[in-house]
Structure formats: C-alpha cells, structure tokens
A and B are shown apart, each in its own frame.
Chain A
Amino acid sequence: MNSGAGLAAISLVVVATVLIGAYGLRISRTTSDFMVASRSVPPGLNASAICGEYLSAASFLGVAGLVLLNGIDALWFPIGYTAGYLVLLVLVAAPLRRSGAYTLPDFAEERLRSPQVRTITAVLVVVIGWLYLLPQLEGASLTLATVTGAPPWAGATLVAVVVVVVVTAGGMRSITFTQAFQYAIKLVAISVPAIVLLAVWRGHGTPDPFHGAWAEPLAPRPGRSHPLYTTYSLVLATFLGTMGLPHVLVRFYTNPDGRAARRTTLAVLALLGLFYLWPPVYAALGRVYTPDLASSATAADTVVLVLPQRMVGGLGGELLGALVAAGAFAAFLSTASGLTVSVAGVLTQDLLKGGVRSFRLATVAAVLVPLGLTLGLRSLDLASAVGLAFAVAASTICPLLILGIWWSRLTVPGAIAGLAVGATLALAAVAATYLNIAERGWPAALLAQPAAWTVPMAFLSAVTVSLLSPRRIPGHTPQMMLRLHAPEGLLAAEGPA
C-alpha cells in the first residue's frame, strides 16, 4: 500500500501539532505553567485533553487488531481501558487532587514524609512512562511503514523528534490544547471511515462476520493458552493500572479542585465510551474483507489502516485511508508527548536541578531511551505491550495510592516493601516477556499477564510490613487524611475567630 494522500494527512497532523504547540508557547512562562498549566484548565477541556492523551496506539490500532485476532474476548481491552477511570473516579480522583501535590513523587513524599519513598516512586514513574512509550513509537513505525513503505525506524524517529520539539517549546499548557485537538482528530478519524465502511458493507448485502469460535466468549482456540486467566488478569491490570499511569495522573493536578477532578473523570468516561464503539467495527468488517491479516499480531494491528482501501478502493478508499492514518499519528503524538511531559517532569524535579532549562534537557532524555529500546527489542503486539505497562503501574503505584489515601496505618517500611515487591515481580515478568523466555503454557500466560499475582503480592507486602512496623506511622497522618478527604470549602472557610 503506497498512498500520497496518507503521507499528506500525516504531515498535516504533524504540522498542526507543532503550530498549536507554538501558540501555547506565548502563554507559558513560568515553571508552574510548564508543569501543570498553572491549574487553570476547565473540566471539559481537561477531559478531552485526558482522552486525547490516553487514546494511544493501543486504542487506535491495537484494539481492532486484537479483536480481529482473538474475537470477542479482546473486547475486554477497551472495557478495561475505560473502567480504569471508573475505579480512578471512586478511589483516587478527588483525594489526589485535594492532596495538593504536583506529581506522583510529590504525593508519595507528602503522604509519608519519606525522601526514600519519593525516590522509588520517581524511578517507577520514569520506568512506567518508558514502557508505555515503547508501543507508541512501535505503532508509529508500523503506520508509516504500512502507509508509505518507509523503513521501520522512520516512524518512531519522526514521532520522537516532533514530541521533543513540541514539549520543549511549550510544556504542559501547549500540551493541553494539543491534546484536546488530538481527541477530536482521533474520534473523527475512527468514526467517519467506520460509518462509510458500514454503508459499503450494507451495500454488499451484510455478509455476517459473527460465526465460529471467534464470535464466542472464552472459546478454546489454537495458539491461545488459558483464556480465562489471561482475560481476568488483563482486566485487573487495566482497572488498577490506569490510576498509576503518570501521564494521566499529572493531568488531574490541573483541575481547580477535588470536585472538578471528579467531574472531569465523568466526562472522560463518556468521551472514551464514544471512541471505543468504533474499533470493534473495523475488526468485525476485517473478518469479512481482510481475513488474511489475522495471520499474525503485527499484521492484525494494521487492520484499521488497511481496511478502507481494501473495501472501497480508488480515490475514496485512499482518502478514508488517509484520514485513518492521520488519526493513528495523532494517537502516537498525543500519548507520546503526554508521557514525555510527565517523565521529563519527574526527571527534572527529582534528578536534575529543576527549572525550565533542565526540563528541556530531561525531555530529550525521556524520548531517547525508549527510542533506543524500540529499535533494539523484539516487537510485541501493541495492546499486549501497553498491557505490560498497565501491569507494572497496577503492581506499584496503585497500592501506594489506594493504601495511602484510604488506610491511615500505612507506614514508610510498608510502602517501600509494597513498591519493591510489586516492582520486582512485575518488571521481571515484563523482561521475561520482551526477551521471550517462556513460549507457551502456564509460564507464558503468567508472565505475559502478570497483574493477577503481582498486584495481590504488592498489596499483601505493603499491609503486612505496615502492621509489623506500627511505630513508623508518620506523625502527620491524621492531618494528611483530613486534607485528602475534607470537602472543598470546609477547611478554606475561616470561621469567626
């Protein structure tokens, strides 16, 4: 497939992203502007920015690919990606915003008054960010190679360069505008072609894609071991991992208060639901028109890009293909820049001296490492690679947040134990999966979807060690709990003295 229209659409998205970033530059001046947009972002804009940032390569290409490959069981991916926000809403959103911290390491330090916990959290945020950046760059390479026949490294390098330019130019504020714009692009780019393709499919007499084991829940299929375990472990990772994704959390700090944080999350759920209606449409139509793509995970990931030209052909197909390619590129750019901002923010605050200059330096470092890894490691399918980042977040940041917010007996050694156990187990599973140590059977399933055992282990260690070290409960815990849970206006309003 070689498409001039596709290349033009991708270029347009890149140029528009850089321009909007430059517009943001004029209003971002201080470090605070750079880091969290000075906390002046209204909920509606913030919600579309969160979605723009969140809907990544895995959502735009990977979900359709996985459904084409694995059938109905893969629908749990978009469900998990959305339900993660429901869990975040009821457990984390408002208290986290009320804590007043700027970043995850800030929260860790304020809650536990321990520089050690802060440093461990900072390192984990960087690692999770990198793990999540890998599939974004991977997806960019895949898209550029599919649309233009470019060499595999080209797409990843292009995204890396654009992200560094946009982020160093404008920081977070420009990112807020960029991200909100990206959500609109992505929604249009996934829904409009899908509607056209559905019309074409009707014109062909609605050939039925729903037959065989593909359409049945939890049906045994060759090449897939332990579907029940895999499904539930994935569900757990996405439910609990969303709250630990650094690029999502950093955006919650830009809400004016805890109530706005909740309302933003509600809007996010609605916007995500609207988006995730569409990828399965491509997969179902792909069953009819492009069954050859179900041969491998990497081929299946291209179904959204390939389907329009296969089904429509001619100029119409080329234009639809261009629109989808633009949406895919918007997905990589937005997620990658959001991740880069948060990774660079943590690097700046915790490892460099701070300030705008170090932030720019950190941005380059935040992108270079995953770019190097992308070119070196074996490529997983997009949704599984993202799933691993979720699993690490769910095994580390999630226990710290949930216990930190809701359990006043959490101690410093307990928090460190939870983080250490969760990180060690989950990262070992990730390394084993990328290095392809176990190929099939239970070991492969347990390592590829580790959340079901790593998350309980992390919680268990944090709770056990906390209970064994009751004297190490930080002295300010009651005041901290009050700050996390007190409704707006309760503590701010000064009564008559």
Chain B
Amino acid sequence: MTEPTGRPRRVAVSHPRTRAARRSGGYVPRGELRAMTPIGALYLRSLIRSQLRLSFVVLSGLGLAIGLLPVLAVVSPRLVSVRVLGLPLPWLVLGVLVFPAMIGAAAWYVHAVERTERQFVDLVEHR
C-alpha cells in the first residue's frame, strides 16, 4: 500500500473531444422517435428489423430441424436403429434432446435481443 504523499497533483481539465460529449444537450433522436417524424420512423424501422432478424434466426433453425428430422429418418434407416443408452436414437432425439435444444435457442434469443435493444437505446440517447 502506498501512502498519499503530500498535496494532490494538479490536473488539467479540458473538454473531451468525443462525439457523445459534443452532442450532449443538442440533438437527441428520442424526440424524433416520440413525434414519429420521418427520421424517427427510420429509427423505428431499423429497430423492428433488427428484432425481427433475431426472430427469423430462431424460427428458421426450428423449421429446419423439424423439416429435416423426418427426412433423415427416411434417407438413413440405419441411423434410426442406432441405440444410445438402450434408447433408439430417434426416441432420444425427439423425447429428450429437443428440449435442451429449444431452451438453449430461447436463452440465446433473450440474450441477443436484450443486447440489440440496449444498443438501440444507447444510439437514440447518445450515451
């Protein structure tokens, strides 16, 4: 541990040259959003689009899995007869593994969409 020695040092304080600092107190798009001006509408559309993109990722994963599982069973009958821990593979997948997979997809989505929305708030409020 170091003891504070003598008087505090002199520190120069100056205006930080960042964009956020320059804009504070000036233009904030939140007002545009609230009034739904054309610019506000543009912001809103970009928000909805980014939310919807995440939804599409989850939904297409779900659709792909559900569309492909039966095809897989038809294409490769040998896969159907494989047993893991005494359970036939299709039973293991459809009866057990689908659930953690769905929970995982949901957890990812919640995480991703919360981040997206946080970024949007930061953008609009210029934080």
| B70 engages A263 (CB within 8 Å) | no
Closest to B113 in A: A262
Closest to A270 in B: B103
Binding site for A on B (CB under 8 A): 25, 28, 30-31, 33-34, 36, 40-41, 44, 47-48, 51-52, 54-55, 58-59, 62, 66, 69-70, 73-74, 80, 86-88, 90-91, 94-96, 98-100, 102-103, 105-107, 109-110, 113-114, 117-118, 120-121, 124-125
Closest to B31 in A: A495
| A217 engages B73 (CB within 8 Å) | yes
| A83 engages B102 (CB within 8 Å) | yes
| A90 engages B88 (CB within 8 Å) | no
Closest to A481 in B: B44
**A162 at interface by CB-CB < 8 Å:** no
A365 vs B37: C-alpha distance when bound (angstroms): 48
Q: Which residues of A contact B31 (CB under 8 A)?
A: 495
| B106 engages A217 (CB within 8 Å) | no
Q: Which of A272-280, A291-299, A385-393, A461-469 contacts its partner?
A: A272-280
A89 vs B55: C-alpha distance when bound (angstroms): 9
| B121 engages A487 (CB within 8 Å) | yes
A86 vs B90: C-alpha distance when bound (angstroms): 22
| A490 engages B48 (CB within 8 Å) | no
Q: Which residues of B contact A218 (CB under 8 A)?
A: 70, 73-74
Q: Which residues of B contact A406 (CB under 8 A)?
A: 48, 52
Q: Which residues of A contact B113 (CB under 8 A)?
A: 94, 262
| B33 engages A482 (CB within 8 Å) | yes
Q: Which residues of B contact A208 (CB under 8 A)?
A: 86
Task: Contacts A273-B102, A486-B44, A486-B47 known; list 11 others, CB within 8 Å.
Answer: A91-B59, A208-B86, A217-B80, A262-B114, A270-B103, A276-B99, A481-B44, A482-B40, A485-B47, A485-B51, A487-B120
For the complex formed, measure the closest distance between the CB of B71 and the CB atoms of chain A, giving whole angstroms: 10
| B70 engages A478 (CB within 8 Å) | no
For the complex formed, measure the closest distance between the CB of A108 and the CB atoms of chain B, giving whole angstroms: 20
Closest to B72 in A: A217
Closest to A92 in B: B55
| A262 engages B99 (CB within 8 Å) | no
| A79 engages B98 (CB within 8 Å) | yes
A482 vs B54: C-alpha distance when bound (angstroms): 18
A208 vs B94: C-alpha distance when bound (angstroms): 18
What are 16 A-B interface contacts by the 8 Å CB criterion? A86-B62, A90-B59, A94-B113, A215-B88, A217-B69, A218-B73, A235-B66, A265-B106, A266-B106, A273-B99, A273-B100, A273-B102, A406-B48, A406-B52, A482-B44, A490-B120
A270 vs B107: C-alpha distance when bound (angstroms): 10
Q: Which residues of B contact A482 (CB under 8 A)?
A: 33-34, 36, 40, 44
Top-5 shortest CB links A-B? A273-B99, A487-B117, A90-B55, A217-B73, A75-B94
A89-B110, A478-B44 known; A491+B117 contact, CB < 8 A:
no
| B94 engages A259 (CB within 8 Å) | no
| A490 engages B30 (CB within 8 Å) | yes
Closest to A479 in B: B36
A274 vs B88: C-alpha distance when bound (angstroms): 20
A493 vs B31: C-alpha distance when bound (angstroms): 11
| A490 engages B124 (CB within 8 Å) | yes
A215-B91, A495-B28 known; A86+B102 contact, CB < 8 A:
yes
**A439 at interface by CB-CB < 8 Å:** no
| B33 engages A217 (CB within 8 Å) | no
Q: Which residues of A contact B124 (CB under 8 A)?
A: 490
**A76 at interface by CB-CB < 8 Å:** yes
Closest to A268 in B: B106
A206 vs B105: C-alpha distance when bound (angstroms): 35
- Give residues of chain A (215-272) contacting chain B, Cβ–Cβ below 8 Å: 215-218, 228, 231, 235, 239, 259, 262-263, 265-266, 269-270, 272
A215-B88, A481-B44 known; A490+B54 contact, CB < 8 A:
no
**A72 at interface by CB-CB < 8 Å:** yes
| B90 engages A217 (CB within 8 Å) | yes
**A205 at interface by CB-CB < 8 Å:** no
A86-B62, A273-B99, A478-B36 known; A266+B44 contact, CB < 8 A:
no
Q: Which residues of A contact B30 (CB under 8 A)?
A: 490, 495
**A489 at interface by CB-CB < 8 Å:** yes
**A210 at interface by CB-CB < 8 Å:** yes
A217-B90, A486-B33, A487-B118 known; A478+B41 contact, CB < 8 A:
yes
Q: B103 touches which one: A75, A215, A273, A280 (CB < 8 A)? A: A273
| B94 engages A79 (CB within 8 Å) | yes
Q: B91 touches which one: A72, A490, A491, A493 (CB < 8 A)? A: A72
Q: Which residues of A contact B51 (CB under 8 A)?
A: 485
A206-B86, A210-B91 known; A481+B48 contact, CB < 8 A:
yes
| A277 engages B121 (CB within 8 Å) | no
**A14 at interface by CB-CB < 8 Å:** no
Q: Which residues of B contact A210 (CB under 8 A)?
A: 87-88, 91
Q: Which residues of B contact A217 (CB under 8 A)?
A: 69-70, 73, 80, 90, 94
For the complex formed, measure the closest distance between the CB of B122 and the CB atoms of chain A, giving whole angstroms: 10
Q: Which residues of B contact A272 (CB under 8 A)?
A: 99
Q: Which residues of A contact B59 (CB under 8 A)?
A: 87, 90-91
Q: Which residues of A contact B106 (CB under 8 A)?
A: 85-86, 89, 265-266, 269
For the complex formed, measure the closest distance between the CB of A103 and the CB atoms of chain B, giving whole angstroms: 24
For the complex formed, measure the closest distance between the CB of A305 and the CB atoms of chain B, giving whole angstroms: 21
Q: Which residues of B contact A89 (CB under 8 A)?
A: 106, 109-110
Q: Which residues of B contact A82 (CB under 8 A)?
A: 98-99, 102
For the complex formed, measure the closest distance between the CB of B68 and the CB atoms of chain A, giving whole angstroms: 12
A218-B74, A231-B70, A273-B100 known; A485+B110 contact, CB < 8 A:
no
